[in-house]
Amino acid sequence: MRRRKKFSRFLLAILLLFESLSLASIVGCLYILQARTMERDFRHKTELRQVETSIFLRNRIERLRGKLHDISTSNTIRVSLMLDVESQISEILNSRFGPSNGAYFFIREAGKSEFIPHLPEQFLAIKGDILAFKEISQQGPVKFQKTRSGHYMAIFSIPVKRRLETLGTAYLVYDLSSDQAFWSHMKLFPHASLLSLEGSHLVNLATGLKELVLEKPEAIEDCASINGKFIMPLKDFPGFFYCVSSEPLRHAKRNLMALLLVLCAGVFMLTVVLSFIITQKVSRPLEDISAQAVEVARNPSTVRIDDKGVGYLEFQDMVKAFNDLLGALMAAKEKLKEKAKEKLQESEDRYQKTFDASPLSITTLTLNDARFIEVNDAFCKLSGYSRREAIGRTVFDLNLFADPGEGKGYLEVLRLEGEVTNVELDFRVKDGRIVTGLVSARRLRYAGKDCMVVLVSDITQQKKAQKERKNLEAQLRQAQKMEAIGT
């Protein structure tokens, strides 16, 4: 049986589905737009911090270069170089330009390979690089190199002259890894780090650990997102990359999604309440109309639905149309009943006349026990039994089958197959005579019962004539044989 559905539930489900899809679409669009804005802002802030870091490092180096220039122009150092007073040079450098935040200053007298003061142990490995270093442009990019100790250093030099005579060379060795001022600046930006390109790997300058692998480092000209990190070249410092983890961005996106989901849940709950109220307002009049319509169906004498409790104009119009239609249907029903009665009566009259006037024996019997329900005049004439004698009794009560076993087999075939056609059966009529009938029968429903209608044509005379003809033909053949023997 088909499951019945309530319109109110259907309406509520449609409203909730529509609202759910709408909210999902709105939340999705808002999230996408806001997430893109957040990512764009995050990239912009990352670029600004990269610029700030580059400027900070550039200013830091420029200040150190300024000190290097002061050393090269110091008259005291010039005189000391001219007089070859190393102790005085060393004292000046240690007192005024001593090691500080990774910056180391040295002077090498012209024609000598030793430095004043002596190089610390960690610089001995790059002594050759220092000696071979030439002065670089003030505006050119700064190239850092990694030492065996894992520190990143840059070397600067400037000649110390007296007029056209070169008295020596002043050097600045800047150890970025030891510059606490720079790393304090880097700590101002959480999740930020400075990476150095070594082969195809990016190494963290602070930890010395390999963090990323770049297949094409030269392809990174602007901000790029790799493995959850935003990376961009540090301006004016070849080989260095400014890196910021995108975890704050992901965290902000998660918070955004949580906020949108909370808002969505609130709106959805409000929608559920409003949808329930709407469905109740709409479904109650419909339920009342439906209940009255069911009552009309059960009791067709009630030909009107009451519209007093229907408050909406559309429903009132629907009730009025239903009542008008119901009235028209009831009137049409009565007319159809009258016509049907007339047609039925005419049909029954025609059937009865045909039934009674048929020259064939026609009977209607129950299927299970072959009890007569209706017989025609031809049956009465053939069997010798009147309608009163036959109706209500079975064929076995009247002993109609000359061979009861054959008759039971015939009935069984009819029950199984539903139809038999042109079957010859011998019947015993009321006066005891045996007649032969050609029987056709079919199963049907009659008066709410499983029945069968049986037509019997009396072929007794035809069978007798056929038998006599066969006898005459046999006698003729015998006479022909005797005549042949006599000749």
Do residues 362 and 335 share a domain? no
Q: How many CA atoms lie within 13 A of 189 on its CB side?
A: 22
Cα(472)–Cα(479) distance, rounded to whole angstroms? 10
In a domain, 162, yes or no: yes
Q: How many domains does the chain have?
A: 3
Do residues 117 and 156 share a domain? yes
For 164-312, strand residue ranges (E) read 165-175, 192-198, 201-204, 210-213, 224-226, 229-233, 240-245
Cα(254)–Cα(102) distance, rounded to whole angstroms? 41
Final residue of a structural domain among 126, 147, 180: 180
In a domain, 325, yes or no: yes
Do residues 124 and 155 share a domain? yes
Do residues 336 and 367 share a domain? no
In 103-201, which ranges are continuous DSSP H helix? 127-132, 180-186
Looking up residue 175, the CATH number of its domain turns out to be 3.30.450.220
Do residues 335 and 367 share a domain? no
In a domain, 46, yes or no: no
The SS3 call for residue 195 is strand
Do residues 377 and 433 share a domain? yes
In a domain, 92, yes or no: yes
Residue 360 phi, psi (nearest 5): -90, 150
Looking up residue 400, the CATH number of its domain turns out to be 3.30.450.20
Cα(439)–Cα(294) distance, rounded to whole angstroms? 51
Least confident of 264-273, 288-297, 308-317: 308-317
115-116 and 145-146 as β-strands: parallel, antiparallel, unpaired?
unpaired
Do residues 413 and 315 share a domain? no
pLDDT of residue 5: 58
User: What pTM, to 2 d.p., does this model score?
Assistant: 0.54
Final residue of a structural domain among 162, 180, 198: 180
Do residues 138 and 86 share a domain? yes
**Percent of the chain that is helix, strand, coil (3-state, to 5):** 55, 20, 25
**pLDDT tens digits for 211-251?**
877 777 665 767 777 888 888 888 888 888 888 888 888 88
DSSP string, 336-356: HHHHHHHHHHHHHHHHHHHHH
**Domain interval for residue 131:** 74-180
In a domain, 200, yes or no: no
Do residues 416 and 452 share a domain? yes
Is 137's pLDDT higher than 50? no
Final residue of a structural domain among 276, 309, 340: 340
CA–CA distances in Å: residue 421 to residues 65, 377, 410, 418, 443: 126, 22, 11, 11, 12
**pLDDT tens digits for 322-370?**
777 777 777 787 888 888 888 877 777 777 777 777 888 999 999 999 9
In a domain, 53, yes or no: no
**pLDDT tens digits for 57-114?**
999 999 999 999 999 888 888 888 888 888 888 888 888 888 888 899 999 888 888 8
The SS3 call for residue 280 is helix
In a domain, 8, yes or no: no
In a domain, 57, yes or no: no
pLDDT of residue 390: 92
